[in-house]
Amino acid sequence: MCEIRTIEPRQLTPELIAAWSTIQQSLPAFGSPYFRPEFTQQVARVRSDVRIAVLEQQGQPVGFFPYQYSGMGVLVPVGGKFSDYHGVIAPPEVEWTASQLLAACGASAWRFDHLVAEQQPFARYHGNVAGSPYLYLADGYEAYEQERKSSGSKELTKLARKKRKLDREEGPLRFEYDTRDPQVFETLLAWKRDQYERTGLTDVFQFPWTTELLQNIWDCREPDFSGLMSALYLGDRLIAMHFGMRSGPIMHSWFPAYDREFYKASPGLILLTEIAKVASDQGVTIFDLGKGDAEYKTNLKSGDFMVAEGEIELRPMARLLRNGYRASRDWIKASPLRGPAQIPWRMIRPLRDWMAFR
């Protein structure tokens, strides 16, 4: 069994960062930008509750577990709800247990919703497992496109037709793969905030640390980690943008947005395919769309990476209460009371979200 100690991000030495990077790049399941030390460092710049557990054997680092301490003995992933992947960045042969990990972090609970599902020490704590769809671009965009058509999907054909129509009737279309225009960033925030208001979701950008985090990541141009803002214009009019992250051959979709006036033309999806074309030429092999069963993800995906939702709760009474809550919730969802039960849930959700993003 390995030994585990915890440090603050400022205690990450160049040697520890190099070890982290080497381990992360050697593990295909942990190739996402979310597992890069730079991502944790960027979150630590805007939040004071970030910590890192270092797993060691014979005094040498063999694994890393970044997390946030939310108080009351509860850990959450780095970036909280902004994190689309999390887990212990360590080879499978490194031996550790979930209870050992939490004890080393001075915690009694860890809640997760995008945990790499194949990480065995956490398997017994999974409550639900879902897919994170991705585009496979290792053989080039044309090969990806052909595979999608061969599978029976007509999505790319429809998008190509919409693109030609938009360009012909209202164009010309102009695509920027890596824009540095600050106005695009501001428009992204405005459109996302409008979307959250219209759909009744919590405005995650009301919390200053979230916008600062995106700005910092956009400014980050490290060889193994960078933010990427892409934009689609109709003439001089901005009609869609996409903010994501890249780590080596892995690109992750994070915040897409588009002008609702052009909804029927699918400008956001047109932009997504244009990004994939350029990205594949620049060495990207996986374009991860993030967990979710949205129709466009189902139609465009080459496959899924499996991620788990659940929690580790070592306090018996807290575990009993949480299990009772989940059982009641699941029963209500399957019962005729589902509709009326949504009313108190909608009242509670803003408070829950505020607690998650505060």
**How far apart, in Å, are the Cα atoms of 137 and each of 64, 179, 287, 350?**
29, 22, 7, 39
Among 106, 105, 132, CA closest to 293 = 132
Query: DSSP letter at 158?
Result: H
- pLDDT beyond 80 at 337: no
Q: How confident is the model at residue 320 (pLDDT cuts 50, 70, 90)?
A: very low
Mean pLDDT across 142-160: 95
Domain with CATH 3.40.630.30 in the chain: 3-132+307-353, 134-305
Mean pLDDT across 292-314: 96
- pLDDT beyond 80 at 324: no
- The amino acid that residue 238 corresponds to is L
Question: Residue 306 in contact with residue 115, Cβ under 8 Å?
Answer: no
Main-chain dihedrals φ then ψ at residue 90, nearest 5 degrees: -155, 145
Helix (H, G, I), strand (E, B) or coil at 267: helix
Question: Residue 231 in contact with residue 185, Cβ under 8 Å?
Answer: no
Contacts of 327 (CB under 8 A, 6+ apart): none
Q: Is 285 left (phi over 0), alpha (psi -120 to 50) or beta?
A: alpha
Q: Is 225 left (phi over 0), alpha (psi -120 to 50) or beta?
A: beta
Among 141, 144, 231, 251, CA closest to 185 = 231
Alpha-carbon gap, residue 333 to 23, rounded angstroms = 42
- Domain 134-305 coded CATH 3.40.630.30: yes
Q: How confident is the model at residue 352 (pLDDT cuts 50, 70, 90)?
A: low
What pLDDT sits at residue 349?
A: 54
Rounded to whole angstroms, the maximal C-alpha distance in the chain is 67
Q: What is the pTM of this model?
A: 0.90
Question: Residue 157 in contact with residue 324, Cβ under 8 Å?
Answer: no
Helix (H, G, I), strand (E, B) or coil at 63: strand
What pLDDT sits at residue 72?
A: 86
CATH of domain 3-132+307-353: 3.40.630.30
What percent of the chain has pLDDT above 70? 88
Question: Residue 123 in contact with residue 329, Cβ under 8 Å?
Answer: no
pLDDT tens for residues 198-257? 999 999 999 999 999 999 999 999 999 999 999 999 999 999 999 999 999 999 999 999
- The amino acid that residue 322 corresponds to is R
Alpha-carbon gap, residue 152 to 164, rounded angstroms = 22
Question: Residue 230 in contact with residue 256, Cβ under 8 Å?
Answer: no
Q: How confident is the model at residue 307 (pLDDT cuts 50, 70, 90)?
A: very high
pLDDT tens for residues 252-280? 999 999 999 999 999 999 999 999 999 99
- pLDDT beyond 80 at 98: yes
pLDDT tens for residues 120-140? 999 999 999 999 999 999 999
Alpha-carbon gap, residue 180 to 163, rounded angstroms = 24
What pLDDT sits at residue 171?
A: 82
Alpha-carbon gap, residue 21 to 26, rounded angstroms = 9
- pLDDT beyond 50 at 330: yes
- The amino acid that residue 311 corresponds to is E
Alpha-carbon gap, residue 197 to 192, rounded angstroms = 9
Mean pLDDT across 83-109: 97
Question: Residue 291 in contact with residue 114, Cβ under 8 Å?
Answer: yes
- pLDDT beyond 80 at 283: yes
Question: Residue 51 in contact with residue 61, Cβ under 8 Å?
Answer: no
Question: Residue 33 in contact with residue 225, Cβ under 8 Å?
Answer: yes
The mean pLDDT value of the chain amounts to 92
